[in-house]
Chain A
């Protein structure tokens, strides 16, 4: 089947969305942007394709009216099994890379010992992998670096002690390899991994889903043809996209928000390094926009900086700020000054939650000023970007919008992080149809 890919190369994360010919979302994928957009792009696309397979499985199963519990169980097992396959593949890559590094003068005497130790480490890692992907197992992160890294460190210490190989040597080999592995675009066929995963699920689950597995195989036979791709976001210029494959993120966000909420007239996007206010017409065409210029004050990165300063996770800021009863009055939205402002107020004895609430208000004030410069707020408004996930920011925004523009519906989609990529994918779909907008073909 024909698919259309939109990729949003943001400063923090890279997102991909796959659309089908009916403008339905097939799959979404996200990865950290690293400093390597090319890899980020292929990882995000692959993740979107994996997600798309699951959509296709569901469609295939849906047609037969199988009991939904059974389907969900089967799909859960399949996903875990597939992730395991992916993990094992990358683990093999990591092992090969590590082993390859054991050479030269430094390893003249200890080389064989280190190689043997590495082989043992990876044997154990492979051995414990299935448990990590068992039902109910909790993984802290879905990124290979995080999962493999913490286990490698623990196992290598053990093995090194037993074998009399220095822990620092094993650590050093790992550090050098993980970057290379992480920056290598995904290899191997997705279908091969799915087939293996299906085999495992049918052989493990006592008789479970033989029929479903057959249906899944049918779905796997559907070829996902990448008909057209559109890239947007800061990384777009570093990719070998030709001009007709690039759209500005402003247009993509406008169209993406329109697709999620067709009644959208105003879009506010607060991303990592910029804040955009966009006005769109009834068909999602951008009428006007304003962005922060020359200064990233009040962008998502500001909250990241505050989180670092307070030694908290980014996602913990909002909940703490929500506890505030008396928000501090903070005027500066300068990211660089934020640290000083924060320490000063803590020293004065102000409560952490009150300071945080004040900081949230400050960035939203700045966003509202950008909105007003873009032409104000019209009903409905759609709020996108990472900051839209922060409940304290949303609360402040709602307050300020009511004060300044009255009763306006504010939409926040759980998938709002994909707004730009979604718009990009729709541009791709239209371009393939020959409806080229926003660029000369």
Chain B
């Protein structure tokens, strides 16, 4: 989920403590992964939505996230060649580009962002089933690595609520399947108190994350909750939930955001602080990673800040109140998996985006529809119409891709965005009837 190994910044740009901290955390994490064969550390591959980092830590397993690797490849302009490699091997043009980037990377030696080989996983843990392609992805990985695979089935929230049955069903799987297999793979006995300890730390960092994301309600917003938000969600969504590092990171970040808010400043962009907030947007859908900077620039150059986004909820909808709970350890893990954004039904997504537009006083909704992600894209036009109808605010629809550079047409995207911003402006100031 997180582009932490950021391109080198100009030396005169002062880095915030949180940015330095995050960079260091990521570097250490990839070092832990690539040195696993020497340190004899066991590795688990798993996905971001619904990942069970605290549980994996109970077994001293190092958490490897193929999605994050694909994002890193996208940001580092490597994904294009990986995708073509996978297509040469027979994967169709329509397949999720995260998958193809990952497969292509494996075929090219599985070299991680630190230039070292990523380790083969000892276990595959699939705890999110909202995306069918993810299942297939793990089947491919199992084929490759021939290692134990754990499949924790998460019921889809079709009726818009979590029932006690759903939780029982998941806890049963955790007890009878997930935990015993992890014990077997790692050789470490499960200790529920250790889990409670981690969950307590998770909740602490989660409080700060929610605080930070909700500062988007301020005018101007001190954060960009989409492009900046991708950095902010990194530690919680990835391999750091439940660690002291994450607590420190969010503490630093919260202080920085508070400072900016006190001074009435807007978000920090790659080109420095943003001047004036002209447009406040809510964005639905993942960003494009191969042209991330260029994409972001199309927003901040026009004075557009994203005040809230759904993508920053794919690893947990904490702003709706959920916290990992040390008093109900397994139950809260189950609730966590159930509640992630992509496991929510269309009506729930519509409610959420409508709430965001109202609560964050946004000018409208922008949907970035992902060409190769059916799971996110299905129903988005319907979502758009409904949110428009309920809020009376204008919406727009653009199309790009996650990590396939061939599907980012800068001129087209810029054209749509400029039209949208002008449309917002026209609606807002205009109402000036044409004679």
Contacts and interface: CB of A to CB of B under 8 A. Distances in A.
Interface of A: 23, 234, 247-251, 255, 258-259, 262, 282-291, 293-294, 373, 375, 426, 430, 435-440
8 contacts: A23-B435, A249-B419, A251-B419, A287-B394, A288-B396, A293-B399, A435-B432, A439-B425
Given A284-B434, A291-B416, A247 B422 contact: yes
Contacts of B396: 288-289
Interface string B397-435: 111000000010101100110110011011101111111
A288 B407 CA distance: 23
B147 interface: no
Nearest to B388: A288
Contacts of A250: 419, 422-423
Contacts of B427: 285
Nearest to B406: A294
Contacts of A255: 434
Nearest to A247: B422
Contacts of A373: 381, 397
B175 interface: no
A290 B426 contact: no
B385 A289 contact: no
Nearest to B385: A375
B419 A294 contact: no
Nearest to B422: A438
Contacts of A291: 412, 415-416
B395 interface: yes
A248 B418 contact: yes
A122 B379 CA distance: 67
- 4 shortest A-B CB distances, which residue pairs? A248-B419, A438-B422, A283-B433, A437-B430
Nearest to B408: A294
Size category, B interface: 20 to 34
Given A287-B394, A288-B395, A294-B407, A438 B426 contact: yes
Contact of B409 (A249, A285, A293, A438): A293
A378 to B, nearest CB: 14
B278 interface: yes
A375 B382 CA distance: 10
Contacts of A294: 371, 399, 407, 409, 412
Contacts of B412: 291, 293-294
Contacts of A287: 394
A284 B423 CA distance: 11
A259 B434 contact: yes
Nearest to B381: A373
Contact of A436 (B278, B398, B411, B429): B429
Contacts of A438: 422-423, 425-426, 430
Give the one of B394, B411, B435 with max A CB within 10 A. Answer: B435
B429 A288 contact: no
Interface in B51-69: none
B434 A283 contact: yes
Contact of B431 (A234, A285, A436, A440): A285
Given A426-B434, A435-B432, 20 more contacts: A23-B435, A248-B418, A250-B422, A251-B426, A258-B434, A283-B431, A285-B430, A285-B431, A286-B423, A289-B419, A291-B416, A293-B412, A294-B407, A294-B409, A294-B412, A375-B385, A437-B429, A437-B430, A440-B303, A440-B425
Contacts of B381: 373
A285 B407 CA distance: 30
Nearest to B427: A285
A282 B430 CA distance: 13
Contacts of A375: 385
B54 to A, nearest CB: 41
A283 B398 CA distance: 25
A423 to B, nearest CB: 9
Given A250-B423, A289-B419, A440 B278 contact: yes
Nearest to A435: B432
Given A248-B419, A437-B425, A293 B431 contact: no
A267 B301 CA distance: 29
Nearest to B395: A288
B419 to A, nearest CB: 4
B394 to A, nearest CB: 7
A287 B388 CA distance: 10
